[in-house]
Amino acid sequence: MAIAFTFPGQGSQAVGMGKDLAESYPEARRVFEEVDEALGEKLSKLIWEGPEETLMLTANAQPALMAVSLAAMRALESRGFSLKDKVGYVAGHSLGEYSALAAAGFVSIADAARLLRIRGNAMQSAVPVGEGAMAAIIGLEQADVETACAEAAQGAVCQVANDNGGGQLVISGARAAVERAAALCSEKGAKRALMLQVSAPFHSALMQPAADAMREALAGVAKNPPVVPVVSNVSVTPTSDPETIAARLVEQVTGRVRWRETVEWFGAEGVTTLYEIGAGKVLSGLARRINRDIAVANVGAPADVDAALASLG
């Protein structure tokens, strides 16, 4: 099939996201109610009213973004849309992989919310505040960035965490090593080497305690074959085997988010349109820079639901 659905990751959150979907579709509102019940708190109130600094916390942002993506999915489905019949693949950026899997029925919405709360807390607590860092490197070849990381490590962790495409790579690891690597990238000709305001060194080997926590958490939830294959962040291959999917989710905590390769893979497989399901338009922007032959569309508001249904048929 020529269509894939993608699901955004952390950084796409905004106060008020998904509220219009909940007001327009009872099915969407029920998603937020399910998440609230699963977490034992009114996350929906935080999503819609803020404060922003609390929503931005990793343990809140991750289940919140999943809730908005699944609310958009339920809005589509309430109008007769079938993921299995209309879409060839799903994929998500980092936490968005959980949203993609929930949309495809691998886990329930409630379990996805609890898993992402565990994931957020575990990632935050894996490294003491201030000891880790991440930096965005713009306009430098991947091989040069990897060389800079290796030179800067000096026995510490420093690695490429995200290959987002469009000339954007993110490095992650011990703060001093990342700072050294960013400086080396500038020397090697990077257009920009920007330290990021993040709370932990995500997608690096320093996240191993969080990977261990997710292995245990995933072992304890009911897992089903997804109705469409999920393209894994860490392997850039599609699978429908529940245990393989779970293993890749564990690897993802410390592994690289290979988003550029994912979009390139979609193009090679004949995907002609990517729909970004949920908050923001970050993935759509990245896709345009990676492969201009693939059309992009967004489903994050009631008007988007109408437009998507008209084009999906």
Residue 197 is given by DSSP the state -
pLDDT for 129: 87
Beta bridge partners of 272: none
> Are the C-beta atoms of 170 and 216 separated by less than 8 Å?
no
44, 99, 203, 232: the catalytic one is: 203
pLDDT for 1: 58
108 is catalytic: no
From first to last of its 313 residues, what are the pLDDT tens digits of the chain?
599 999 999 999 999 999 999 999 999 999 999 999 999 999 999 999 999 999 999 999 999 999 999 999 999 999 999 999 999 999 999 999 999 999 999 999 999 999 999 999 999 999 998 999 999 999 999 999 999 999 999 999 999 999 999 899 999 999 999 999 999 999 999 999 999 988 899 999 999 999 999 999 999 999 999 999 999 999 999 999 999 999 999 999 999 999 999 999 999 999 999 999 999 999 999 999 999 999 999 999 999 999 999 999 7
pLDDT for 199: 83
Residue 12 is given by DSSP the state -
Cα 5 to its chain centre, rounded Å, is 12
Token pair for residue 241? 């085997």
Encode 222-260: b = buried (16+ Cβ within 10 Å), e = exposed: ebeebbbbbbbbbbbebbeebeebbbbbbbbbbbbbbbb
Name residues whose C-beta falls within 8 Å of residue 56's C-beta, 6 or more positions apart in sequence. Answer: 13
Per DSSP, the three-state class of 5 is: strand
Residue that the structure tokens 């800079």 belong to: 148
Helix segments in the chain, DSSP class H: 19-24, 26-39, 43-49, 52-55, 58-78, 83-86, 96-103, 109-125, 142-153, 175-187, 208-219, 242-254, 259-268, 282-290, 302-312
pLDDT for 272: 97
pLDDT for 313: 79
Per DSSP, the three-state class of 269 is: coil
> Are the C-beta atoms of 66 and 38 separated by less than 8 Å?
no
pLDDT for 198: 86
- What are the structural domains of the chain? 3-125+206-312 (3.40.366.10), 132-198 (3.30.70.250)
12, 44, 69, 94: the catalytic one is: 94
203 is catalytic: yes
